Amino acid sequence: QGRILEKTGLCSQITFGRYVRQGRKLGVDPKLFIQDLQFNKVPVRVYQPKATSDGRRRRGIIFFHGGGWVFGSLDTYEKVCRYISRESESVVVSVQYRLAPEHKYPAAYEDCLSATIHFMKNIEHYGVDPGNVIVCGDSAGGNLAAAVSQTLAGRSDLPKLRAQILIYPGLQALDFNLPSYHQNRGVPLLLRERAAFFALQYLNGHALHMQEVLEGSHIPPDVRLKYRKWVSPDNIPEKFKVRGYKPHKPCEFKAEVLAEVRRFCEPNLCPLLAEDAIVHQLPESFILTCEYDVLRDDGLLYKKRLEDNGVRVTWYHLEDGFHGIISLYDYCGFSFPAGKRGLDSIVNFLKSL
């Protein structure tokens, strides 16, 4: 529908997509105190459990929503944030970062980092334990959570993050031909083409070189070789390759495309490419992956990198899950049990901290 409307000149695909994904206004939640604020000029929504916490300080969760850096809002993720706050009895701060293509990289990352630092510096206002702050996000939000976590790992002037929760995160844009990209190329809610489209919208504000990025001609052989130790099907357990995967040879490198996408090699955009010295300092991590998701292997590759660097990882894999399922645990009367299981695995991890 979005494409039809765009062709008729009524509105762009993105405007239409945002309208469809708006999320309905929910009524009052008897168990939560909810307020809209600004942290360092970044709009946020704060969820605080009303029940007393027996004098103990609560954990604080900073949540970055998904939507390919292009879609998503505080309202879209209202149900998810309420659920996490209620069930884990935590203060949740949902961040409304600026969206692409109007605001290109690094706008979203900068907003998320800025809101997180503001929260950490003003933590006593929210009754949160400074030693128990967690960054969390799904999809593009998982990418932002990983990037913020890496940036804060080296900061000595702030409390250390207690954990990071990455829900089917997108963590690299070097290789759109990993096994999960092939196996799930046509699986909703995130098709392989859309994944490249979103990454390019975030990077450049347009998706002119989508074909080259999909075929792999945007990265020079030496760079590919440099990152092969981290981004390669070789690092993915064999059992994930059985479902009809054939290795792909990248097409011939095109220098003119690299000029447009050079920043794909920056860890703030592609956290899977961070150096070991950074990864080694990261907090305890929770990674959720779905079998039927083009981004599955990004999560698996990062899990391996974290473990190789001595970081404790709790991994939860939804065998019957697809991309975006967490937001659908209770959607307009439909309910996906896998989405609820995924959410509960996150809540259980939080309670274990």
**Which positions are catalytic?**
139, 293, 323
**Is 173 exposed, middle or buried, given 0-12, 13-18 or 19+ CB atoms closer than 10 A?**
buried
Q: Which helix (H) or strand (E) holds 290?
A: strand 284-292
Euclidean distance between CA atoms 204 and 207, whole angstroms: 7
Cβ(180)–Cβ(293) under 8 Å? yes
Whats the size of the chain, residue-wise? 353
**Is 247 exposed, middle or buried, given 0-12, 13-18 or 19+ CB atoms closer than 10 A?**
exposed
Q: Which helix (H) or strand (E) holds 42?
A: strand 42-49
Helices marked H in the chain — which ranges?
Answer: 2-7, 13-20, 78-88, 107-121, 140-153, 179-183, 192-204, 210-215, 221-227, 255-261, 276-279, 296-308, 337-352
Instruction: Kindly state the DSSP code that residue 52 receives in the 8-state scheme.
Output: -
Q: Which of 107, 290, 270 is nearest to 187 (CA)?
A: 290
Cβ(179)–Cβ(233) under 8 Å? yes
Cβ(271)–Cβ(171) under 8 Å? yes
